[in-house]
Chains A and B, each alone.
Chain A
Amino acid sequence: MFLQIKNLTKKYDKVEAVKNISFSAKEKEIICILGPSGCGKTTILQSIGGFIKIDEGEIILDGKNIEGLEPEEREIATVFQSYGLFPHKSVIENIIYGLKFRKYKKKDAIAEGKKMLEVLNLRGYENKRVTELSGGEQQRVALGRALIVKPKLLLLDEPFSNLDTNLRANMRKELLRIRDHFNITMLFVTHDQEDAFSIADRIIVMNKGKIEQIDTARNIYLKPKTEFVLNFIGSANVDRGYFVRPEAIRVSENGEEATIIDKTFKGAFIEYIIDYKGSKYKMLRLNNEEEFEIGSKIKIEMEMREL
């Protein structure tokens, strides 16, 4: 395995922020740590980056135990949530700053920086101040600044949290494109399920300092291992250890009887609350499907899965 985290524990004043965390990543894989705020995901990122000292555990990158090394000694680059750009330096100066510590001549560094700007679609931005850039552009500069030093692992802390919804979608695509160009292993943390689903090869769902599940997006959604994962990722109807997603409830002639109690128009789909065998269930249907009125009786079919 390219990156291995073994039994990582970090305490703040005796409170365990993360306890006994283990996971690994293959080379060129994109791993996402997903969880609510305070679940310990940022602590893991900072531990790997070397910004905080861990209490127990090992961090192995490309066969080398890097636990105990300073951030500058690890072949890891980090893109912070607030980007951490140097506001008094121009775009190109920001991008090539790391090359200064890798014995590049100024001329070569600038040439490298310009190449990077091409890849980032930021040609012509060399001498702009970073404070003049939009959020998305700042993010790309932060990415370029981290990638130019050819790290073995790229860490991203809530990469899209400062961007609005449309820009987010674009930046996700941009990030994937840039990653394909550099073929780099990435680990990012987010609390946004859509970020995780659209980018990650595998997702680590965390809660209260512990890992709940590590799997692909599909499996996490369809085969959640715990109730936390089930509820954190989308919504679900739960009944005595069994669950069914609202969109998995189908209307069918062969089904059993249920009554519509309430409905809400949600845009692309309509959300119904139905009474089925004395319990309330949430059901989702696309808005171009047959619509039901409150009080009407329908027949439904569903398959409850075991948690």
Chain B
Amino acid sequence: MGIRKKTINTMDSVVQIRERKKLLDLTNAILKVFAALLVLVFVLYPFLAVFGKALYRDGQINLSEFLFLKDEFYLLKNSILSATLTALFSTIFALSISLMTFFVTERQKKIIMFILLLTMVSPPFIGSLTYIELFGRNGFITRDILKLSINPYGLWGIVSVQTLGFTSLNAVLMIGYLESFDHTMIESAKSLKATTTSILLDIIIPLMKPAIAVCFLLSFIRSMADFSTPMIIGGAFNTLATESYLSIIAKGNSPRASAMSVILFIPSLIVFIVYSHFLKEQQRASKNLRETQARMKKRGLYYLVLALALFFILWLIIQYVAIFSSAITDKYKGEVYFTLQNIKDTIPHIRDSFVRSIIYSLIAGFFASLIGLVLSFYSYILKSKFIRVIDFISNMPYIVPGTFFGLGYVFAFNEEPLKLTGTVIIVILNLIFRQIPMSLRAIQSSMTQIEKATLNSAKDLGAHNLFILRDMVLPMSYPGLFLSFTNAFISSMTTIGSIIFLVYPSRKLATFVLFDLVSSGKYKVASVLSCVIIIVCLSVSLLSHRIFNRSSKYVSTN
């Protein structure tokens, strides 16, 4: 828009400006409605479709599918039992690790964060894989070292694998929570002669209650929704999630699978409500940060915290050492030797799927961030009430278990005019919309840095909303967009649950190949593939850390 134009021919330019404004307004409206439509069609509709499948038959409400709650009550019982134990252990370990940050140096803290990051960029069955290799019937630790032959499958196998997998995210959440702590509380307590044990028990742990509750519940639903771990090492121990998965894959019984998914959704909903509450608490708590780090004496309860944290970190390290060494070694007559054969064997398995995974994930990362930006612009910056509702709906994929979201896509898009099942599009759409909640969070957190006065100034100078989006909001949201892209990429690379029913058998993704390899006992090749996925995701993650030097607070779950 030229100032010069205005001075040359005022009449002309007034007409032009008016025309132009009309066009911009129209574009603005279309953009807004389009974003909203996308969310309604690809989030809300599939979500409702699952409920429809579970509750309706022949146009009537039909609750017969929920009879499994009575007839196969053990499924629910097993799910709740394993989820409770997993949640308990993964919260206790995470608490210990987060408390250790009060006793370690900055450098040691960075190392801990790196190890935690490692588990968050790993594909989901890596825990099961190493568990079998270390503790299985032919396990390195159980058989070769301890000379035992035990059955590692069942409840405790599931609980230990899940605990190992879920603790890291919990720990990262708790460390983030502790960083917003007013350290003068600890210093005050110290100057009143409080011991380490008292400070931990009287002040820090009680204040961490919301974080502890969220981590417990988060692990609980992740465990409830996890079908792959019980599939691989559950043995005879069946859970709702595995049964729901098998109902579709083996029996083709989608109403039954839907009913089970609906039951799995209930605890997730509770967690979401608690989580929103916790976020508010955290915002209230985060004030008055001090540079000095509160030190505490290494006494009393410290030793328990240290023992638990060390135990967990060691366990994690063993897992990764095992997987990397398993990828490059083999055994012959009991002798372990170095080999590249595993890597060669892996190539035919991953040639197509790996490239496909990367391409899908790149697309998902890009569009999830783009849609996230548009939605955030209307809901967070312009405070549009209508888009705020859409914003809320678009958070649903965060609440529901992955398989629930996947089932929704199967039911919603298997008929004209939106027949997408069996296509590549449906997989990518699912990946995109599954990541939107995390994208919204990352983008909106960087938008908090944008001052309202800046945007008002632009408006004052005559900039249309679309220009504000392009010239102000977009460049100022780069850190959030980048983080959103990274998270969405990593999540898409490592996810399986939400797309397992959508992927066409001939167009498998890397995680699917990995799942097949682990299920069919090809552990060596599976190790190599795991390593490759970890290395790719880790490089992307570290690169983005280096570029934007952000905390990994928002690194998402699988």
Contact = CB atoms under 8 A, between A and B. Distances in A.
Interface string B513-549: 0000000000000000000000000000000000000
Interface string B277-314: 00000000101100010000100000000000000000
B356 interface: no
Interface stretch (B19-27, B183-191, B439-447): B183-191
Contact of A80 (B188, B198, B287): B188
A194 interface: no
Contact of A101 (B195, B207, B285, B297): B195
Given A70-B190, A71-B191, A77-B192, A97 B184 contact: no
Interface string A59-88: 000000000001111101110111111111
Given A46-B292, A70-B297, A97-B202, A86 B185 contact: yes
A80 to B, nearest CB: 4
A71 B187 contact: yes
B227 to A, nearest CB: 39
Interface string B203-243: 10011010000000000000000000000000000000000
Contacts of B297: 70, 72
**Interface size bracket, B side:** 20 to 34
Contact of A98 (B185, B193, B195): B193
Most A Cβ at <10 Å: residue of B188, B189, B191, B198: B191
Contacts of B206: 88
B188 A78 contact: yes
Interface string A234-254: 000000000000000000000
Given A70-B297, A100-B198, A101-B195, A52 B187 contact: no
Contacts of B194: 72, 97-98, 100-101
A49 interface: yes
B207 A77 contact: no
A78 B198 contact: no
A78 B285 CA distance: 22
Contacts of A46: 292
Contacts of B330: none
Contacts of A80: 184, 187-188
B184 A77 contact: no
A178 B501 CA distance: 72
Given A70-B297, A87-B207, A149-B193, A51 B198 contact: no
A72 B207 CA distance: 22
A86 B188 CA distance: 9
A97 B189 CA distance: 8
A46 B206 CA distance: 26
A146 interface: yes
A305 B421 CA distance: 92
Most B Cβ at <10 Å: residue of A76, A77, A80, A146: A80
Contacts of A74: 191
A71 B198 CA distance: 15
B182 interface: yes
B203 A71 contact: no
Contact of B192 (A83, A87, A97): A97
Nearest to A155: B191
Contacts of A70: 190, 297
A105 interface: no
B207 A145 contact: no
Most B Cβ at <10 Å: residue of A78, A82, A85, A98: A82
A107 interface: no
A88 B287 CA distance: 16
A51 B182 contact: no
A14 interface: no
Interface residues of A, number: 31
Contacts of A51: 187, 190, 292
Most B Cβ at <10 Å: residue of A52, A85, A86: A86
Given A101-B192, A101-B195, A86 B203 contact: yes
Nearest to A97: B192
A73 B297 CA distance: 12
A82 B193 contact: no
A164 to B, nearest CB: 18
Contacts of A84: 182, 184-188
B182 A82 contact: yes
Interface in A36-60: 46, 49-52
Contacts of B195: 72, 101
Contacts of B192: 72, 77, 97-98, 101, 145-146, 149
B184 A83 contact: yes
Contacts of A87: 207, 285
Contacts of B189: 86, 97
A277 interface: no
B193 to A, nearest CB: 4
A87 B195 CA distance: 19
B357 to A, nearest CB: 45
A102 B192 CA distance: 9
Nearest to B195: A101
Given A46-B292, A86-B203, A87-B207, A71 B190 contact: yes
A78 B191 contact: yes
Contacts of A149: 192-193
A236 B48 CA distance: 76
Most B Cβ at <10 Å: residue of A72, A97, A142, A149: A72
Nearest to A74: B191
Interface in B397-448: none
Interface in A101-119: 101-102
Contacts of B207: 86-88
B292 A52 contact: yes
B193 A72 contact: yes
A85 B185 CA distance: 6
Contacts of B287: 82
Most B Cβ at <10 Å: residue of A49, A84, A100, A146: A84
A261 to B, nearest CB: 37
B100 to A, nearest CB: 20
Nearest to B203: A86
Contacts of B190: 51, 70-72
Contacts of B202: 86, 97
Given A46-B292, A87-B207, A72 B184 contact: no
Contacts of A81: 184, 288
Given A85-B185, A88-B207, A77 B198 contact: no
A86 B189 CA distance: 9
Nearest to B192: A98
Interface in A252-299: none
Nearest to B294: A51
Given A49-B187, A71-B187, A145-B188, 4 more contacts: A70-B297, A88-B206, A88-B207, A149-B193
* Closest 3 pairs (CB-CB, A-B): A98-B192, A84-B184, A84-B188
22 contacts: A49-B187, A50-B191, A51-B187, A51-B292, A70-B297, A72-B195, A82-B182, A83-B184, A84-B182, A84-B187, A85-B185, A85-B188, A86-B185, A87-B207, A88-B207, A97-B192, A97-B194, A97-B202, A98-B192, A98-B194, A102-B193, A146-B188
